[in-house]
Amino acid sequence: ISICQDLPNIEVITFSMNGISDLEPLNQCQNLSELYLRKNNIASLNELFYLKNLPRLRVLWLSENPCCGSDPHRYRMTVLRNLPSLQKLDNQAVTEEELSQALVDGEEITAPPARRNVENGCPESTESSVAESTTETESELLNFSLEETNKIREELGMKPVPRDKFSSFSPRETDCNRKKRNNVLNAILLLMKELDMEGLEIVQQTVGRKLQVLRKKELQEE
Query: Domain-by-domain residue ranges, the chain?
Result: 2-105
Cβ-count burial 53-80 (b if 16+ within 10 Å, e if not): ebeebebbbbbbbbbbeeeeeebbbbbb
Q: What is the chain's pLDDT, residue by residue, as a tens digit (222 residues)?
A: 777 777 788 888 888 888 888 999 898 899 999 999 999 999 999 999 999 999 999 999 999 999 999 999 999 999 999 999 999 999 899 999 999 999 999 999 998 887 655 444 444 444 444 444 434 444 555 555 566 666 666 666 666 766 655 544 444 445 555 666 666 666 677 677 677 788 777 878 887 787 788 777 777 776
Determine the straight-line distance between the first and last CA of the chain, rounded to whole angstroms.
Answer: 37
CB atoms inside a 10 Å sphere around CB 48:
22
Please give the model's pTM, rounded to 2 decimal places. Answer: 0.57
Amino acid at 30: Q
Question: Rounded to 5 degrees, what are φ and ψ at 34?
Answer: -135, 130
Superfamily grouping for domain 2-105: Ribonuclease Inhibitor (3.80.10.10)
